[in-house]
Amino acid sequence: MQRLTLGDFELSVFSDGTYPLDGGAFFGVVPKVMWSRKVAADEKNYVTAGLNSLLIRTGKKTVLVETGMGNKLSERMIKFYGQPAKLIESLNAGGVSPEDVDIVINSHLHFDHCGWNTVRDKNGKIVPTFPRAKYYAPEGEWQYARRPSERDAISYLPENYDPLVESGQMTLLKGGEEIVPGISVKTFPGHTAHMQAIIIQSPGENPHISQRTRDMGHPPNSSYVPTACYISDLMPTTAHIDLTWGMAFDLYPLQTIASKKQYYARALPEKWLTVFTHDPKTPWAYVEKDATGKMVARAI
């Protein structure tokens, strides 16, 4: 578990474990001679993907962004992906019990992003894993998930969200909403049509300026607000920060590029901390342009 302070908020990354993904699928049209310089593949061409959830303590609320792969995969899917199912124990090890979580936010509804939304109880009934939490997910994702294309139908498991929508425990988002002060969502199409990034800005008229902020050259009395963004599958790892390095899973590859441009237009000048959903080693980093114009991820 890694932890940092962002303004008045405390951010921690908790992992649901790692899983194997085909390297070709992970890097789309990028040739293996190029991506294999950044990420090692095994003899079956699998690379290791992480499952990073972000926990935010605002001082008033405990907010969990993304819930990993969970523990309800079918035998067939376990053959492909395994089922690490580590999130609850890693939260517990960090002193967080499921009852502590006030809010759960899903960027989209693929099985590896909302798997721990629900569990089966001892009678086999699907129940919320985080009993007190209000859940949020993009409305467009949920609509699409009801009738997915043949291409990605395997990625949607209704038991991760339908019971929560039916019970009223999950609120569906249009995009652009502020869920609690300082935590909002914004739609970045590309991976799917309705995927939303989660933007975290420490609020208040008098933002606490961290040492990190001073290190970046912002004076203590500036109005600069430290910002982090869980960009989800728009840029799943630090190896995907180049504009053209998208995944083969992306339904709308040209929109992935346009969305990355839109993201960088704010994230670079405002020095946002980017949180990477599937990076097994570097869950967060500052993305910058080096002197040659190449995107680089500066770990913290």
d(CA 271, CA 56): 19
Minimum Å gap between C-beta 242 and Zn ion is 19
Are 53 and 87 in contact by the 8 Å Cβ rule? The answer is yes
Instruction: Rank residues 66 and 233 by Cβ distance to Zn ion and give the closer one.
Output: 233
Stretch that binds Zn ion, among 23-31, 76-84, 215-223, 233-241 (CB under 5 A): 233-241
Minimum Å gap between C-beta 74 and Zn ion is 18
Are 116 and 71 in contact by the 8 Å Cβ rule? The answer is yes
Query: Tokens standing for 178?
Result: 């502020």
Residue 167 buriedness (CB in 10 A; 0-12 / 13-18 / 19+)? exposed
Give Cα 131 to chain centroid, integer Å. Answer: 21
User: Which residues lie below 8 Å from residue 218, measured CB to CB, with a gap of 6+?
Assistant: 209, 224
Interface of this chain with Zn ion, residues 167 to 206, rule: CB under 5 A? none
Minimum Å gap between C-beta 252 and Zn ion is 13
**Stated length of the chain:** 300
Is 233 one of the binding residues for Zn ion (CB under 5 A)?
yes
Minimum Å gap between C-beta 190 and Zn ion is 11
Residue 256 buriedness (CB in 10 A; 0-12 / 13-18 / 19+)? buried
d(CA 202, CA 6): 7
Instruction: Rank residues 129 and 256 by Cβ distance to Zn ion and give the closer one.
Output: 256
Interface of this chain with Zn ion, residues 117 to 136, rule: CB under 5 A? none
Stretch that binds Zn ion, among 124-132, 142-150, 226-234, 284-292 (CB under 5 A): 226-234
Stretch that binds Zn ion, among 35-43, 86-94, 105-113, 270-278 (CB under 5 A): 105-113
d(CA 89, CA 70): 12
Stretch that binds Zn ion, among 29-37, 52-60, 164-172, 231-239 (CB under 5 A): 231-239
d(CA 246, CA 128): 33
Residue nearest to Zn ion (CB): 110
Is 16 one of the binding residues for Zn ion (CB under 5 A)?
no
Interface residue with Zn ion among 7, 69, 70, 110 (CB under 5 A) is 110
Minimum Å gap between C-beta 108 and Zn ion is 6
Q: Which residues bind Zn ion (CB under 5 A)?
A: 110, 233
